[in-house]
Amino acid sequence: MDATCRLPRALARPDLMEWTQQTQQAREWFESLRDRICAEFEAIEREAGSDASFDYQAWDRETDDGSDGGGGVRGQMKGKVFEKVGVNVSTVSGEFSPQFAGQVNGASEEHPEFTATGISLVAHMANPHVPAVHMNTRFLTTQAAWFGGGADLNPPIEYAEDTDAFHARLRAACAAHNPTYYDRFKKWADDYFFIPHRNKHRGVGGIFYDHLECPDVAAFERNFAFTRDVGEAFFDSFPAIVRKRMGQEWSEEDKAAQKEWRGLYVEFNLVYDRGTLFGLKTGGNIDAILMSLPPEVTWS
């Protein structure tokens, strides 16, 4: 693929060059994971008799002063199995607005500088029996540096065995690093992906974590290894669920239920999602930020 993100410029912090190098490490991993996921999703389309493939578009982050703010690559595919799937990788830098800086770990009005790199994926499926899914992992630096992310399953029609398989793989990834991670991060996902005005969860959860801080190289390597394993857990579990369900017969009633369920997804992402807010507040690509929205949705 010719389109690539640009590594952000070094900022004024004396130790930022070290973190910029680690930002590059994280970026390379996110890009490699993107390439593997997109290839796997295209392979699933081929298995279904479709020639759909990802369309990639590079974008640059615009800054007020014309400096290099980084950018990203947005990949999107619409096929027979994946009604709409977006896989984005971005690597950006700059300064938060004074109003937003105080809401971000390690940033302030006095120190608004940041770098951020991450992968974000949302898949909405044609077959109502195949769950939608979200996965995002990221590395940010301000006056602090940390990893965050997670993955969660969003079935319009739930199958307990699929939910159990998805969670089991995430549980194994967590257990390899810290025996408390799964319970902590599952609860965080349950609390985070809740829609108060509907008194409902968006889906059947997964894990969500943030602020795994990296004050030194050892902590960076440890938290980076965990973040990679979260990506591997997603890669191992979700395509298997898709292949299991994508040929299942569905009715118009099933499709109607899927479209109505998608309303919950839209409401959460536009009202509560922190990633949407972060992208809008940092001058991200609007199409990439809103790629999480489903292609067809209804409200009762």
Q: What residue ranges define each of the domains in the chain, with the CATH number in brackets? A: 16-292 (3.40.1500.10)
Residue 101's pLDDT band, with cuts at 50, 70 and 90, is low
User: Which one of 134, 167, 177, 197 is the catalytic residue?
Assistant: 134
- Residues 247-265: b if buried by 16+ CB within 10 A, e if exposed: eeebeeebeebbbebbebb
DSSP secondary structure string, 226-241? HHHHHHHHHHHHHHHH
pLDDT (0 to 100) of residue 113: 83
pLDDT tens digit sequence for 29-51: 999 999 999 999 999 999 999 99
Is 134 considered catalytic here? Answer: yes
pLDDT tens digit sequence for 168-202: 999 999 999 999 999 999 999 999 999 999 999 99
Q: What is the helix (H) or strand (E) element at residue 189, kind and residue range?
A: helix 181-192
pLDDT (0 to 100) of residue 6: 37
pLDDT (0 to 100) of residue 273: 85
